[in-house]
Chain A
Amino acid sequence: MYMKVREEKVIIVHVAQKMNGVFMEIKGNVFNIQRFTIHDGPGVRTEFFLKGCPLSCVWCSNPESQKPNIELGVYKKKCIGLKKCGACTEVCTSGALNFYRNKLVFINYDVCKNCHKCYEECPSDAIKMWGKMMSVEECMKAARADRGYYERSGGGITVSGGEPLLQADFVKELFAQCKEEGIDTCFESTFFGDWAKVEKLLPYTDLFISDIKHMDSEIHKKYTGVGNELILENLIKLSETGKPIIMRIPVIPNVNDDEVNIEKTADFLLNEMHGNVRTLQLLSYMRLGEEKYASINKEYAMADLKLNRKSFQKHVEKIAEYFNSRGIHTLVGTKEKE
């Protein structure tokens, strides 16, 4: 049996409830809608990135997705400066805005009152708002816009994050509406969450995508902030539902790319998940998201890593060969066919 993990600390920002007889529409916190994504699931897809994640992987390329609340990010390159503009300072009453050499460099979230007025007034896209409360219908409008492309390519929508299980009720409503309209659905998750939430989604989800970051729970915790027990337990349950699953390994140098861990991962996929993995995709570590770390004034933990990209890529290809030799259909990258 896997250990029960700590309670999720995150704030769920959406609710569906009746208040004074008025139905409050369920809303999700969406930090990005990306059209024409071709990597997270088959065909041409529209991908909804939901905000909030209980993990904080050191290699995370979407650091702006981690906090569950709406955040403001600063892109100082785009700031045209106090002298020529100053629109943000005119509306900020909390003193959260910090300038260096005339340009906005970071927002002090400790004092920020989250009024978002600086974002509204900024004329240059130097302040970006990460997260937007959206109704199912608003999301459906975006989803429908490209449905012709989905139908021809076998695509659809993908919900990712962050960790979308945090907003499972919203995702359920969204997916239910998609199925109502014949749009294919894909759910990408760490599966760090209550199985009951996954169960809610099962009837409306056509494809699941997940990943295994490390088989050793201690190491897992060291690099992601949480142990792996709940994740693995959920993955086993998921494999038993018979739903199509794409599994991934983010191959991180000196973290999870050693022989022992790779072998254990293969064992898990074959024995515990009964080999119910349509494709295993190895995602080579990429130096991603640094600009985003800077925008929310956060350290990029892997900044010092030096990597010979060519030899690392060869190494990843070797790992793929190993998985294939174990009978698991494995590719480097986000494709399913050679």
Chain B
Amino acid sequence: MSKFHTTAAGTEPFDHVYCLGYQVNHEDWSPYPRVNRLRQTFLDGKYWIDIERLRLVTEAYKAHPTEPRKLQVAYAFEHVLKNCTLYIYDDDLLVGEIAAPKKAAPIYPEFSVDWILKEATTFAKREHDEFYFRSDEEMNEAIELCKWWKGKTVADRIEGRLDWDQIKGSEAGAKIFQTNLYHYAGTGHLVIDYAKLMAVGYNGLIEEAEKNLVSLDKLAVDFGDKRDFYQAMIIELKAAVAYCERYAELCREKANETKDATRKDELLQMAENCHQIAGGTPQTFWQAMQLCQIATSLLEVEGNGHSISYGRMDQWLYPYYKKDLDRGVSKEEMLEIIEVMYVKMNNPTKLKDWGSTAVRNGRGFGGESLTVGGVDKDGNDATNDLTMLLLEGSAHTRMMVPWMAVRMHSKTPYELQVKTIECIRAGYGHPKIFNDNSAIKAMMTKGMPIEEARDYCVVGCVEPDLPGKEYGWHDAAYVNTVKMMEMVINGGKFLGTDEQIGPNTGDLTTYKTFDEVLESVDKQFEYWTTQMISSLNIIDSAHRERKPLPYLSSFYQNAMDTGRDLTEGGAKYNGIGPQAAGLGTCADILTTIKQLVFDEKKVTGEELLQAVTDNWEGHEKLYALVNSSKVHHYGNDDDYADEMFKFMFDCYTGHVKGHPTQRGGQFNPGVYSVNANVAMGLGTNATIDGRKYGEAISDNMGPVHTDGGSHDIAGPTALANSIAKVDHSKASNGTLLNVKFPQEAVAGVEGRDNLVNFVEEYINKGAMHVQFNVMSSATMRAAQKHPENYKDMLVRVAGYSAYFVELGKPLQKDLIQRTELHF
């Protein structure tokens, strides 16, 4: 455990125990009744589609047919903010939505409409992620409006430019790589410079833009472009100011209507807050949060991107916390605002095409990460009171958003370690943990000096990003590396087919040495990453051409200074980050080939190829063997197999990293799949690691679990050691490891400390990220019903630990009872 300490404190002791594991029928988590009510109201609501934005944006584009694109988007933004319906919810202390009520998805026709036209009548009938139009009239109106956009969207431009080699590997073809997200929607995945926004307010930004506009050199060749840009930015910032004033007015109206004196005071204060931040700078903690809420939600109104994150909130918000604390505002009052904000962060809702939904389930925008902890620009620990309060708020709300991230390093204080683990032990899946050491190193590979690199925060799932300076296009594609491996074993064709889809780099019947196999892997990966990279460059330039983002750009100093929109490379650091899924599966495939075909010569390459071509049917003996402990497997701290993972990791990251993008900057590989590994597996043929057709491929950095058995059997320290054998900083777009612990393993003070120590050592070994699942007896019961989904859940039995689902029914029952007695 850390030798370092902090006096930073929230409202509860740092070692306050929340609970152990997920609990069904739990009591309210928050000490604030208001927060519990807001939370419940949110959870009870249905998901709607709201067509107001679609209507307003279409009107604006029709009204400005000949304007340059930057001004068109600015007028559309302005038109929406002037006319959209405003919402103030009971109990709420903050206002500002995404031009739609909470849990209602607006439509963004600027990006794509084809899928809306195709799927409109089936949104309500989806297996998951269903959405409802409020009426058939609205649905028909939406369809009519979308028809007007045909040919004018970002997606249309992309589709007109992709060649067959690019298409055949994409979601439109064989789904070897999926670039859906930014093909059909906005990019997001960024953090604005909140510190600057708070310091100068909207008016400060407007003044700066106006100053830059008048000082443009009229003889410069790009004068027109820059003039459009600054004009558009000014229109949008002024629209934001007016929008704040509209809310101030509405708060005053509501205050007049209410008979409840307390609520009246709240509403009047909210009116004052909105008025203050309309152009001015926040004077209080509450006003800072209000400005954050509006500024952030307007990014989603403009750009449709998800994973718009909050950066290092404990750092940029701290001056307002400190000032209020000094003038007598209590920590409890500020925590209530934090919790209200957290619940509100869940409101934005995104309607996605079915293909994207399959890759990433969930109807929220998603990915709204909020980072705390870590080092400051000099490398000293930056923990403060807010670090603790923001974690408390998370434990008190336990919702999907914000996705809490705690940065850790060798001097993270003990108190923060414990607070983090207490949140994790509560079993709600937050926070995730990041290793400063590896992440800072990864940032520096993007060309940042160390002082900047130390200011990284997390966006989306696991992507390290530099607030206000980086436009990273993180999460740009999901790559099914397992399909690339299929090309390796079968001469560039899918199993059982004749179509030559990839280059013929040999197959299992022709390789004479294992080195030839590895060479073939390298060639296939080079070919397919080339198709993907070139596709992403086309997608990127379509955004530049069709959907500039002047409002967003105003929060980036470099864009403000240079007069270049973010889509044109206005950010100081630029990148595109596509991530690999299934590298664990690829590693076990290679290990199996190496061991059985070349080292032990137990089977021939031909036999293995035939077995997977037959989906293992009629090859039961071989199927059992490749899934057994007699074959080396990745994830067991076994160098034989871990070397293969390292090869795959280096192969993917090496082929992606460093290629230039049209905005400047470079491609940054990630190694994570979120939940895409499941959908990807559905369409992937049987594999040599012992996977049958349709089973999930390996997740993120994780090892293989097939229906034939879990391949990691040596426990969490062995897994952690395997994970840490690669250089995580090569994956500058992030790596991800999921670890499941039974709650029994982390129970009590000793269990807590064991988890603290586990994390500390995991980080010490150089891995970048880890997140935990802590299981409950309810989970174990669910595991009994659906063992196929719980294969790797470890339970401490007595003298040994075992996989729960491999135990006999009576013992399972006994364990469930024991767990219940624990509470």
Contact = CB atoms under 8 A, between A and B. Distances in A.
A87 B622 CA distance: 11
Contact of A287 (B630, B800, B814): B814
B704 to A, nearest CB: 15
Contacts of A85: 620-621, 624
B749 A286 contact: no
Interface in B741-766: 745, 748-751, 753-754, 757-758, 760-761, 764-765
A49 B801 CA distance: 13
B348 to A, nearest CB: 40
A290 B625 CA distance: 26
B807 interface: yes
A337 B621 contact: no
B20 to A, nearest CB: 14
Contacts, number: 118
B800 A80 contact: no
Nearest to A331: B748
A94 to B, nearest CB: 22
Contact of A313 (B716, B765, B801, B821): B821
Most central of A43, A44, A61 by chain B CB within 10 Å: A44
B808 A36 contact: no
B8 interface: no
B765 A148 contact: yes
Given A34-B715, A152-B1, A309-B817, A44 B620 contact: no
Interface string A295-328: 0000000000000011001000000000000000
Interface stretch (B154-162, B282-290, B385-393, B791-799): B791-799
B714 interface: yes
Contact of A43 (B628, B757, B800, B811): B757
Contacts of A61: 798-799
A262 to B, nearest CB: 21
Given A80-B620, A149-B717, A124 B817 contact: no
B630 A123 contact: yes
B621 A290 contact: no
B622 A35 contact: no
Given A34-B715, A80-B621, A80-B624, A287 B810 contact: yes
B640 to A, nearest CB: 14
B814 A309 contact: yes
Nearest to B2: A152
Nearest to A123: B625
Interface in A32-91: 32, 34-40, 42-44, 49, 61-62, 78, 80, 84-85, 87
Given A153-B753, A291-B807, A34 B721 contact: no
Nearest to A33: B714
Interface string A131-172: 000000000000001101100110100001000000000000
B415 interface: no
B718 interface: yes
Contacts of B624: 78, 80, 85, 123-125
B808 A35 contact: no
By CB atoms of chain A within 10 A, which of B629, B751, B799 has the most?
B799
Nearest to B628: A125
A286 B798 contact: yes
B596 to A, nearest CB: 11
Contacts of A286: 797-798, 814, 818
A274 B173 CA distance: 77
Interface string B473-506: 0000000000000000000000000000000000
A44 B1 CA distance: 12
Contacts of A160: 799
A12 interface: no
B97 interface: no
In this complex, which of B624, B715, B716, B749 has the most chain A Cβ atoms within 10 angstroms of its Cβ? B624
Nearest to B618: A84
Interface in A90-143: 123-125
A180 interface: no
Among A32, A61, A288, the one with the most B-chain Cβ atoms within 10 Å of its Cβ is A288
A237 interface: no
A125 to B, nearest CB: 5
Contacts of A179: none
B625 A124 contact: yes
Most buried by B among A80, A152, A287: A152
B754 A148 contact: no
B637 interface: yes
Contacts of A125: 624, 628-630, 709
Contacts of A337: 748-750
A100 B679 CA distance: 40
A36 B713 CA distance: 12
A259 interface: no
Nearest to A38: B754
A151 to B, nearest CB: 8
Contacts of A37: 800-801
A43 B757 CA distance: 9
Interface string B261-293: 000000000000000000000000000000000
Nearest to B714: A35
Contacts of B1: 152-153
9 closest A-B pairs by CB: A123-B625, A124-B624, A153-B757, A152-B757, A84-B620, A36-B715, A148-B761, A123-B624, A35-B715
17 contacts: A32-B800, A36-B717, A39-B796, A40-B799, A84-B621, A87-B621, A145-B717, A145-B718, A146-B717, A149-B717, A152-B761, A152-B764, A155-B757, A160-B799, A286-B798, A288-B797, A338-B748
Given A43-B754, A286-B814, 14 more contacts: A35-B718, A36-B801, A38-B754, A49-B799, A80-B621, A124-B628, A125-B628, A286-B818, A290-B810, A290-B811, A309-B818, A310-B821, A335-B748, A338-B748
